[in-house]
């Protein structure tokens, strides 16, 4: 994987036609830079791959990967629907222009208040447990509502244990063996079951576990149909399609993936004589992951027991390396194709020893003031950022045809303090 790096005539990193060095000068660092065309291309590539195989196909963009309003608007324009996992994401999606029927709410350990919010918003509700079903049934306006269940198909997969959301250790979904009972209970409580859902994990580059989950979910859907006569409007296999983060990994062959998944889906659909449900997927990372770069500046070169390049971002800005041990490719923005000449640790500015973007990474010569670009910073990057160490969150810009727009202002100290109140007795 060569990461498709683009350079301008000076040999500087170019993002969507804009010079990364100039963006850093104009907006400061650390800075997230999103490439609009790349987001659109990624969406259209996966949409076309599946639509070519099966017309009744829909993408529910998993917006927890990147909830920036501009990104949400771009995908709304492309025709996407939304997978929302919280009331905050429902709220953001509505504001971004998605009608409620284009929003599927898949909560986890959802409170009654959250269920009520979902009911009132008019979004589709995907239930994670029969507890949620029973509590939903008691809420005003629940009678006759359309619902679906998230089923745990007993298989999981992902780039890290924390990202495996199926299998017998997972907290998500209704057990596959219990699915028929759950739907029966839903019918008895007066609901209208319209869909079935699974999501087995994230960062999947090997299609095999995903195929296994499709197999199981289709059998489960078939059993629900046979036993209860429920004809599903939609069958949703969740997200999880991976992108290459390391130079050794290669792209998921999305056309082959679509062919295999749709092949399995159709085989089971005919086997159970299920009609023509809409096939849904919920990619997050696949659509936005490689569309953004995190620009951060080297401020300290230090030789202690090891060699360090210290930068002005930290795990408060991009958590993945610290949280999952994830590899993110890093280049020197003034010459992203420069050959490595050393091995160096690239360390953030947070007061924790785990705050490292890379350990012993082969890099070209680095000096103080150099701008680095951390690749694949579009998914689970800004959306997981925090104010830890009282550091204001980074700014975000969107680039199209060489022009940039600030789509999120850099936070200030006032933002860090904005919700704090001193009790009167502590006022000075």
Q: Considering only 252-260, 283-291, 325-333, 400-408, which stretch makes contact with ligand PLP by CB under 6 A? A: 283-291
Q: Considering only 34-42, 47-55, 278-286, 305-313, which stretch makes contact with ligand PLP by CB under 6 A? A: 278-286
Q: What's the CA dihedral at 413, 415, 420, 422 to 10 degrees?
A: 40
Q: Is residue 282 involved in binding ligand PLP (CB under 6 A)?
A: yes
Tell me how far apart the alpha carbons of residues 408 and 297 are, in angstroms, rounded to a whole number: 19
Q: Is residue 283 involved in binding ligand PLP (CB under 6 A)?
A: yes
Q: Is residue 128 involved in binding ligand PLP (CB under 6 A)?
A: no
- Nearer Cβ to ligand PLP, position 283 or 348? 283
Interface pick for ligand PLP out of 102, 145, 154, 199 (rule CB under 6 A): 199
Q: Is residue 167 involved in binding ligand PLP (CB under 6 A)?
A: no
- Nearer Cβ to ligand PLP, position 277 or 284? 284
Residue 163 among the catalytic residues: no
Tokens of 136: 């939903």
Q: Is residue 285 involved in binding ligand PLP (CB under 6 A)?
A: yes
Burial class (CB in 10 A: 0-12, 13-18, 19+), 9: exposed
Per-residue contact flags (x/-) with ligand PLP for residues 53 to 72, judged by CB under 6 A: ---------x-xx-------
H helices of 105-242, where?
112-121, 130-137, 179-188, 207-228
Q: Is residue 238 involved in binding ligand PLP (CB under 6 A)?
A: yes
Residue 173: C-alpha distances to residues 111, 160, 168, 197 (Å): 16, 19, 11, 9
Q: Is residue 321 involved in binding ligand PLP (CB under 6 A)?
A: no
- Smallest distance, Å, CB 106 to ligand PLP? 4
Q: Considering only 227-235, 236-244, 333-341, 400-408, which stretch makes contact with ligand PLP by CB under 6 A? A: 236-244
Contact 285, 65 (CB under 8 A): yes
- Smallest distance, Å, CB 426 to ligand PLP? 41
Q: What's the CA dihedral at 7, 205, 318, 74 to 10 degrees?
A: 70
Residues 75-104 that bind ligand PLP (CB under 6 A): 83, 85
Tell me how far apart the alpha carbons of residues 110 and 112 are, in angstroms, rounded to a whole number: 7
Tell me how far apart the alpha carbons of residues 319 and 284 are, in angstroms, rounded to a whole number: 17
Contact 40, 62 (CB under 8 A): no
> Which amino acids are annotated catalytic?
351
């Amino acid at each position: 994987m060569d990461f498709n790096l683009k350079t301008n005539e000076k040999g500087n990193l170019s993002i969507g036609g804009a010079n990364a060095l100039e963006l850093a000068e104009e907006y400061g660092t650390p800075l997230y830079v999103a490439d609009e065309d790349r987001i659109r291309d990624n969406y259209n590539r996966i949409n076309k791959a599946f639509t070519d195989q099966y017309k009744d196909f829909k993408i529910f963009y998993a917006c927890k990967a990147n909830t920036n309003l501009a990104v949400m608007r771009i995908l709304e324009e492309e025709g996407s629907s939304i997978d929302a996992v919280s009331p905050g994401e429902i709220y953001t999606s509505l504001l971004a222009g998605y009608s409620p029927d284009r929003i599927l709410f898949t909560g986890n350990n959802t409170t009654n208040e959250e269920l009520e919010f979902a009911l009132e918003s008019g979004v589709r509700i995907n239930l994670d447990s029969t507890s949620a079903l029973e509590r939903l049934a008691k809420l005003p306006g629940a009678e006759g509502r359309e619902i679906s269940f998230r089923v745990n198909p007993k298989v999981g997969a992902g780039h890290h244990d924390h990202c495996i959301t199926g299998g017998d250790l997972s907290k998500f979904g209704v057990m596959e063996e219990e699915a028929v009972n759950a739907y029966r209970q839903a019918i008895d409580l007066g609901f209208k079951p319209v869909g079935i859902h699974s999501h087995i994990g994230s960062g999947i580059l090997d299609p095999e576990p995903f195929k296994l989950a499709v197999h199981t979910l289709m059998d489960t859907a078939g059993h629900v149909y046979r036993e209860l006569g429920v004809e599903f409007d939609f069958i949703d296999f969740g997200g999880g399609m991976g992108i290459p983060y390391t130079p050794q990994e290669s792209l998921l062959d999305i056309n082959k993936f679509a062919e295999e998944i749709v092949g399995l889906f159709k085989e089971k659909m005919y086997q159970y004589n299920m009609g023509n449900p809409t096939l849904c997927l919920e990619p997050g990372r696949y659509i936005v992951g490689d569309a953004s770069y995190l620009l951060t500046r080297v401020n300290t070169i230090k030789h202690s027991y090891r060699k360090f390049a210290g930068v002005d971002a930290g795990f408060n800005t991009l958590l993945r390396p610290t949280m999952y041990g994830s590899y993110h490719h890093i280049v020197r923005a003034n010459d992203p194709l420069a050959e490595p000449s050393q091995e160096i640790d690239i360390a953030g500015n947070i007061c924790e020893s785990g705050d490292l973007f890379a350990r012993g990474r082969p890099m070209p010569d680095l000096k103080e003031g150099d701008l680095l670009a951390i690749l694949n910073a579009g998914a689970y990057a800004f959306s997981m950022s925090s104010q830890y160490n009282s550091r204001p969150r980074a700014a975000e810009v969107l680039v199209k045809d060489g022009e940039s727009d600030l789509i999120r202002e850099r936070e200030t100290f006032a933002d860090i303090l904005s919700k704090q109140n001193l009790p009167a007795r502590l006022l000075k």
